[in-house]
Copies of this chain bind each other. A is one copy, B any other.
Amino acid sequence: MSPVSHLPARALAPRRHDEILRRLGAQGSVSVAELAGFFEVSRETIRRDLKLLSDQGRLGIVHGGAARFEPSEPAMSLRSQENAGGKAAIGRAAAGLVRDGMVVFLDSGTTTLAIAHAITDLRDLTICTASLKIALHLCHVPGMRVHMLGGEVDPSEEAASGIDTLDAMARFRVDIAFLGGGALSPDGEVTDFTRAGAEQRGRMIGLAGKAYFVLDRSKFGKLTPLRIPNFERAAGVIVDADPEPALVEALSQKGPELIVAA
Contact = CB atoms under 8 A, between A and B. Distances in A.
Interface of A: 1-5, 7, 9-10, 12-15, 18, 25-31, 33-34, 36-37, 40-43, 56-58, 62-65, 67, 69-70, 72, 74-75, 77-78, 101, 123-124, 132-133, 135-136, 139-140, 142-143, 145-155, 158, 160, 164-165, 168
Contacts of A78: 57, 69
Closest 5 CB pairs of A and B: A150-B150, A14-B67, A146-B153, A57-B78, A4-B37
A152 B133 CA distance: 15
A225 to B, nearest CB: 20
A155 B62 CA distance: 24
Given A13-B63, A14-B28, A139-B158, A1 B1 contact: yes
Contacts of A9: 31, 33-34
Contact of A3 (B25, B27, B36, B168): B36
